[in-house]
Chain A
Amino acid sequence: GAVVSQHPSWVICKSGTSVKIECRSLDFQATTMFWYRQFPKQSLMLMATSNEGSKATYEQGVEKDKFLINHASLTLSTLTVTSAHPEDSSFYICSAAPGDRGDYGYTFGSGTRLTVV
């Protein structure tokens, strides 16, 4: 089945530094990947849609200069949280689906827990 790998699974960083999160589709090519953010006991909030070879599409209210997305290949998308602050602490999850699937069963990565101290 479709597998999405996300790395790292958790990271602690100091305020003001940048953190990069990787999302890889292991056994399929993904022209489109999605990045979500989830606060404790809350649902997933779509941050942006990552498209291979082009600029990401950000949801309203998401700072594109703060959350940099790069989708340089058909199997890798990265999310960089720049100048992180404690309020950026959250659970970040990516998702993707094979291009030939007729259904909408997006596969999610295992998530990255970011703590900014």
Chain B
Amino acid sequence: QKEVEQDPGPLSVPEGAIVSLNCTYSNSAFQYFMWYRQYSRKGPELLMYTYSSGNKEDGRFTAQVDKSSKYISLFIRDSQPSDSATYLCAMSVSGGYNKLIFGAGTRLAVHP
């Protein structure tokens, strides 16, 4: 069993839709949770990070962490064609320069 599970998709939605992306994990020691966006042939770009459980909102993006269920989510409101990319969840056990464990990434396509 992988430490971090993420449905690779692809996920196709119409412009303006609310997108829900999810990851589950098995290691209860994870405390730091991140979402990255990666366009084709580019490096990942940090979108959101959260520590422990709770919600965090930034513009059209909302990240949720439920440590009791070992489940994290990223919601994208009013999705745009420019949101079409691969979204990767990542997590780490402790702070500092601790290595990140990535999910497989979910490919999202937002069509006009």
Contacts and interface: CB of A to CB of B under 8 A. Distances in A.
B41 A46 contact: no
A6 B41 CA distance: 13
Contacts of A103: 49
Interface stretch (B62-70, B73-81, B99-107): B99-107
Interface residues of A, number: 25
A43 interface: yes
A28 interface: no
B44 A108 contact: yes
A72 to B, nearest CB: 18
B46 A107 contact: yes
A53 interface: no
B7 to A, nearest CB: 12
A49 B97 contact: yes
A86 interface: no
Given A42-B104, A43-B104, A93 B99 contact: no
Residue of A32, A93, A103 with most chain B CB atoms under a 10 A cut-off: A103
Interface in A10-42: 31-32, 34, 41-42
Contact of B43 (A43, A105, A109): A109
B97 A32 contact: yes
B18 to A, nearest CB: 25
Contacts of A44: 44, 88, 102
Contacts of B57: none
Interface in B72-112: 88, 92, 95, 97-100, 102-105, 107
A76 B107 CA distance: 32
B25 interface: no
Contacts of B104: 42-43
B33 to A, nearest CB: 9
B88 A111 contact: no
5 contacts: A43-B104, A44-B44, A93-B43, A103-B49, A107-B46
Interface of A: 4, 6, 31-32, 34, 41-44, 46, 49, 91, 93, 95, 97, 103-111, 113
